[in-house]
Amino acid sequence: MREFRYERAADPAAAVALLAAAPDGAFLGGGTNLVDLMKLGVATPDVLVDVRELTSREVADLPDGGLRIGAGVPNADLAADRRVRERFPVLAQALLAGASGQLRNRATTGGNLLQRTRCGYFTDVTKPCNKRSPGSGCGALEGVHRNHAILGQTIAGSDDPATCVTTHPSDMAVAMVALDAVVRVLGPDGEREIPIAELHRLPGSDPSRDTTLRHGELVTAIDVPALGMPSRYRKVRDRASFAFALVSVAAALDVRDGVVRDVRLALGGVAHKPWRASAAEYVLRGMPATEASFAAAVESELEAATPLRDNAFKVPMARNVVVRTLLDLAGRDTERELA
Amino acid sequence: MRITTTVNGTEHEVDDVWAGESLLYVLRERMGLPGSKNACEQGECGSCTVYLDGEPVCACLVAAGQAIGREVTTVEGLATEGELHPVQEAFVEAGAVQCGFCTPGLLVAAHDLLERVPDPSDLEIREALAGNLCRCTGYEKILDAVRLAAARQARP
Ligand SMILES: Cc1cc2nc3c(=O)[nH]c(=O)nc-3n(C[C@H](O)[C@H](O)[C@H](O)COP(=O)(O)OP(=O)(O)OC[C@H]3O[C@@H](n4cnc5c(N)ncnc54)[C@H](O)[C@@H]3O)c2cc1C
Ligand code: SF4
Ligand code: FES
Ligand code: FES
């Protein structure tokens, strides 16, 4: 592990200033991802600015019925919050589907959003990986990639510096994307708000960048606007608990008189970012809430899939998980649930 | 770096801690508390589970500096005055210990579960212990131990 300094700052502005002066520094939340990556030699910050106790640990009500979630709120606390469980079951379920109790106690909302990929080539410094070591190639394209992406990858050959086929590992972020959350950020140039769909990126020609955040920008809170329809999260993994998603879905569905009035759909485990299934949503609005419509919608989304040698199983898996989840939600009457 | 942390009710002060040490390392190698085990060092196995400010965490992923001024309880802190905690007794009686490497972490996790949920269902036990891996027992005896401790707790 590289030598580094550990710093606690007086307030968020001071933390941002500390990092602005340290081009190789990093914020530290719960450390459940960053400390791991430092031990592995994958992350080599020279300064750690601890923000876990600095950013808010509060979940506050917004006037519209939404919630402002402080970046320092532990994953376990957020999942247990009564308002989250009542208004945004999809979010509580996604959090509880992630990691273990010990890790959720420690992990923060901000850190969860910005956790890095679990690709085995990324975490092994002896292997080629464009994300960790730009230009070194992509070990996963021809290697072990059973749990990699099926949508939006950059596939240009193992030696090409743009190639990256990995996924974003967060469950919580998938729910946040379905919920149209807004990420509040404090940087050297002041505050800004980023719609969460614009936070995580596809690899494009630069797989080293997971997000559109600039160096030294501190996530201070995440706003989740009111939803007004039933929602849920469903995750398929290799064992019943404590494993990353093969495929997951965050869904919300508003059905009135048998017709889909509104729908939100995001997929996890399928792309470099949480995948908002906009094509499927578009197809579904105004359609009868039937298995046939749900299947047609998700199939239109998955037409764009470009599975790898060993992960084509994810395409039918995603289809089936989405259909099942929407059917579950369609069995519930929106007006009665919200009364 | 100097680390001042309350561990099992006693304030410990350690000097010259390197920032890259984990809380687990500080407990085991600097404070003489080898109860918490280091196995994966990656948050995967739970053998390093300790209470940090009252909540079970993986000590292997807590940077030493993050423990400054905090309260830690390790497996060594579960017994009082030489008397094993009922959860510990139940593990012994149920035969939930083979090589014992996972045991300290499981004890802390099971202790926490029974504090929060006095009468857990099997599903609740499984989920609460999902972050603790055991390579020996096959888990059945561990489940027995937690059920036993819960039953004893209900009828002391
Ligand atoms: C064994 C294991 C299993 C896991 N399983 C799952 C799973 O199934 N599903 C899942 O979703 N997750 C899983 N996780 C990942 C876990 O959810 C993350 O490690 C955790 O959420 C990260 O939060 P943290 O606060 O510890 O982040 P840290 O490790 O502290 O930080 C992560 C990153 O975010 C940055 N950062 C932190 N806070 C801020 C901030 N406020 N502003 C700007 N940048 C910030 C850091 O610089 C770092 O780059 C697992 C982890 C482990 C170790
Ligand atoms: S898929 Fe991405 S993260 Fe994995 S080896 Fe290739 S470039 Fe690296
Ligand atoms: S040693 Fe900490 S979880 Fe395995
Ligand atoms: S008893 Fe050996 S690992 Fe659990």
CA dihedral A53, A54, A58, A64 (to 10 degrees): -160
pLDDT value at A333 more than 80: no
Separation of first and last alpha carbons in chain A: 55
In angstroms, the CA A28 to CA A41 distance is 16
Residue A129 has pLDDT above 90, yes or no: yes
User: Which CATH fold topology does A231-338 show?
Assistant: Enolase-like; domain 1 (3.30.390)
Ligand whose nearest atom lies closest to the CA of A93: 1
Q: Hunting for tokens 């997971």 — which residue is that?
A: A210
Is the dihedral angle over the CA atoms A33, A35, A36, A38 positive or is it negative? positive
Report the nearest atom of ligand 4 relative to the CA of B47. 3
Q: Is the pLDDT of residue A222 over 90?
A: yes
Question: In the predicted model, is pLDDT for residue A3 greater than 90?
Answer: no
Nearest CA to ligand 4 atom 4: B134
Query: Which chain B residues contact residue A106 at CB under 8 A?
Result: 52, 55, 57-58, 61-62
pLDDT of residue A331: 86
For the cut 60, the answer to whether the pLDDT of residue A5 exceeds it is yes
| DSSP structure string for A215-256 | TTPEEEEEEE----S-EEEEEE-SSSSSS--SEEEEEEEEEE
**pLDDT given at position A1:** 80
Among partner residues B61, B112, B130, which is closest to A35 by beta-carbon distance?
Answer: B61
pLDDT digit string (tens) for chain B, length 156 residues: 899 999 999 999 999 999 889 999 999 999 999 999 999 999 999 999 999 999 999 999 999 999 999 999 999 999 998 899 999 999 999 999 999 999 999 999 999 999 999 999 999 999 999 999 999 999 999 999 999 999 998 876
Task: Judge whether A172 and A112 are in contact, CB under 8 Å.
Answer: yes
Rounded Cα gap, residues A256 and A99, in angstroms: 36
pLDDT at residue B138 in the model: 95
What is the end-to-end Cα distance of chain B in Å, rounded?
Answer: 46
Same fold, B3-76 and B86-154: no
Superfamily of domain B86-154: [2Fe-2S]-binding domain (1.10.150.120)
Q: How many CA atoms, within 13 angstroms, populate the side-chain half-sphere of residue A117?
A: 35
Two tokens, residue A25 = 């520094």
Question: For chain A, what is the mean pLDDT?
Answer: 96
Percentage, residues of chain A above pLDDT 90: 95
Q: How close B70 gets to chain A, by Cα (Å)?
A: 12
* H or E element in which residue B142 lies: helix B140-154
Whether residue A337 contacts residue A330, with contact meaning beta carbons closer than 8 Å, is answered with no
Q: Are A114 and A172 in contact (CB under 8 A)?
A: no
Tell me the CB-side half-sphere exposure of residue B120, using CA atoms within 13 A.
Answer: 24
Number of CB pairs, chain A paired with chain B, less than 8 A apart: 84
Whether pLDDT at A41 is above 60: yes
- Whether A99 has its CB under 8 Å from any CB of chain B: the answer is yes
pLDDT at A240: 85
Partners of residue B17 in chain A, C-beta under 8 Å: none
Closest CA to A202 of A158, A152, A149: A152
- Give the position of tokens 């940077």: B63
Q: Which of B52, B112, B130 sits opposite A100 (nearest CB)?
A: B130
Hey, are the CB atoms on A102 and B46 less than 8 Å from each other?
A: yes
Residue in chain B lying closest to A50 (CA): B66
Q: What is the mean pLDDT of residues A209-230?
A: 97
* Cβ atoms within 10 Å, residue A329: 23
Reported as a pLDDT band with limits 50, 70 and 90, residue A241 is confident
Q: Do A36 and B62 touch (CB under 8 A)?
A: no
- Asked if residue B64 lies in contact with residue B17, where contact means CB atoms within 8 angstroms, the answer is yes
Nearest-Cα distance to chain A for B130, in Å, is 6
Q: Is residue A339 scored above 70 in pLDDT? A: no
Report the b/e string of A157-190 with b at 16+ CB within 10 A: eeebbbbbbbbbbbbbbbbbbbbbbbbbbbbeee
Ligand at minimal distance from the CA of B97 is 4
Q: What is the pTM for the complete model shown?
A: 0.96
Classify domain B3-76 at the CATH class level.
alpha beta
* A42 interface with B at CB cutoff 8 Å: no
pLDDT digits (tens, 9 = 90+) for A143-191: 999 999 999 999 999 999 999 999 999 999 999 999 999 999 999 999 9
Q: Is A8 on the interface with B (CB under 8 A)?
A: yes
Mutate which: A33, A53, A95, A102, vs B, most B CBs within 10 A: A102
Q: What is the mean pLDDT of residues A74-101?
A: 97
pLDDT tens per residue, range A8-31 = 999 999 999 999 999 999 999 999
Give a three-class secondary structure readout of A162-198. CCECCCCCCCHHHHHHHCCCEEEEEECCEEEEEEHHH
pLDDT score, position A334: 52
The nearest alpha carbon in chain B to A40 belongs to B42
Counting ligands in written order, the one closest to the CA of A98 is: 1
Q: Is A103 in the pocket of ligand 1 (CB under 6 A)?
A: yes
Which chain A residue is nearest to residue B128, measuring alpha carbons? A101
CB contact under 8 A, A35 and B126: no
The kind and range of the H/E element at A109 are helix A109-113
